[in-house]
Amino acid sequence: MIQFEQSTLLNTLPKQFFAALTKKAAQYVNAGHDVINLGQGNPDQPTPQHIVDSLKDASDRTDFHRYPPFQGQPFLKEAAAQFYKREYNVDLDPETEIAILFGGKAGLVELPMCLLNEGDYMLVPDPGYPDYWSGAALAGARMDYMPLTAENRFLPDYEAIDAERLDRAKLMLLNYPNNPTGAQADAAFFDGTVELAKKHNICVVHDFAYGGVGFDGQKPPSFLQAEGAKETGVEVYTLSKTYNMAGWRVGFAAGNKSVISAINLLQDHMYVSLFSAIQQAAADALTGPQDCVRELSAMYERRRNIFIDACRKIGWNVTAPAGSFFAWLPVPKPYTSAQFADILLEQAHVVAAPGIGFGAYGEGYVRVGLLTDEKRLAEAVERIGKLGLFIDKNEEK
């Protein structure tokens, strides 16, 4: 068989970090070990039944068996607009300010291709979601990293970015509630972001994947709530987390008309939109009963509390996340994040994602997903505690 060479473009793509993590964990599962996998971000709960029933009913509609409109069904765009008005008091024009996406990831990877030319600069968070790098690679763009540190509440320090870097940047990616750190942004931060973006003519792309998961009574704010936000960028929303629809691959971008137009143009050449029955179910999710969203967030908060309390009891000095379903945990000395993750897998059979996989400033941390039941989370910490990695050596003497 002839072995055809891959294109130069494919060879420039970053390696899929989570694929390697999954493969390593699978080796221990296949060897018969009871592995508690906290290393990925795949929601463990089923899609709410009323959304599933909507899909079942919509699948019987023969008009939905045909190609949908290239740029998505108007009823889903209208539902997205209603959702933003109800949840955030943001007014959106369904036709010109909303684009339907094949999941949030697709939009985040597509946007650099829509707006950047080869060699253009984009500001990306470090640590950050690794697929941001994929979008940069596909666009031939250069990444300028914005460090997220505990000292600055895992928010980018705009004052630390000099004017020359800001002037050359054409795009900025943000993500709050944050993956991987679980940090939260407030309205004042987004106000400052809009001001900065206007001054330096930067398009802001806010990844709002975890918008439905906030803790301690704090509802995560939308970037679009900031005055002037629609002038300066877009927000990418996915139904994967808020409604446990990860496998359905449906989301949308909302905001600046010129950016929405660019997304639609690119997707016109790639897709014929989503199966209309999925679009109908997504519309019903956005406009239907929201009890499931509140219950899901409350469940993650209970899991967070149990996990964080257990960590502190074994001597692990950790900070509780303010949102998302991730915990960002410091690595004990003298280990690197990769070494510590290997120890957890090899000796405790617990999978955690090493922070270095999210960027240079991720070193010194591991990310844990709160995506298994409370009993298993407690068991994972118990196993880690037995390794004795958090015992104060001075107390032993």
pLDDT in tens, the chain (397 residues): 999 999 999 988 888 777 778 888 899 999 999 999 999 889 999 999 999 999 999 999 999 999 999 999 999 999 999 999 999 999 999 999 999 999 999 999 999 999 999 999 999 999 999 999 999 999 999 999 999 999 999 999 999 999 999 999 999 999 999 999 999 999 999 999 999 999 999 999 999 999 999 999 999 999 999 999 999 999 999 999 999 999 999 999 999 999 999 999 999 999 999 999 999 999 999 999 999 999 999 999 999 999 999 999 999 999 999 999 999 999 999 999 999 999 999 999 999 999 999 999 999 999 999 999 999 999 999 999 999 999 764 344 3
Asked if residue 292 lies in contact with residue 52, where contact means CB atoms within 8 angstroms, the answer is no
> What was the pLDDT predicted at 393?
45
Which domains occur in the chain, in start order? 8-47+291-396 (3.90.1150.10), 49-287 (3.40.640.10)
> What was the pLDDT predicted at 19?
77
> What was the pLDDT predicted at 392?
63
Checking 65-70 for CB contacts under 8 A at 24+ apart, the result is 67/272, 67/273, 68/272, 68/273, 68/274, 68/275, 68/276, 68/279, 69/273, 70/264, 70/267, 70/268, 70/271, 70/272, 70/273
Question: In whole angstroms, what is the distance from residue 68 CA to residue 275 CA?
Answer: 7
Question: In whole angstroms, what is the distance from residue 326 CA to residue 341 CA?
Answer: 16
User: What global pTM score does this model have?
Assistant: 0.95
SS3 (DSSP) at 133: helix
| Alpha-carbon distances of 259 from 17, 153, 208, 357, rounded to whole Å | 29, 30, 17, 30
Helices (H), the chain: 8-11, 17-30, 49-59, 74-88, 104-115, 131-139, 163-168, 187-200, 229-232, 239-242, 257-268, 276-287, 291-313, 337-343, 374-385, 393-396
Strand (E) or helix (H) holding 233: strand 233-238
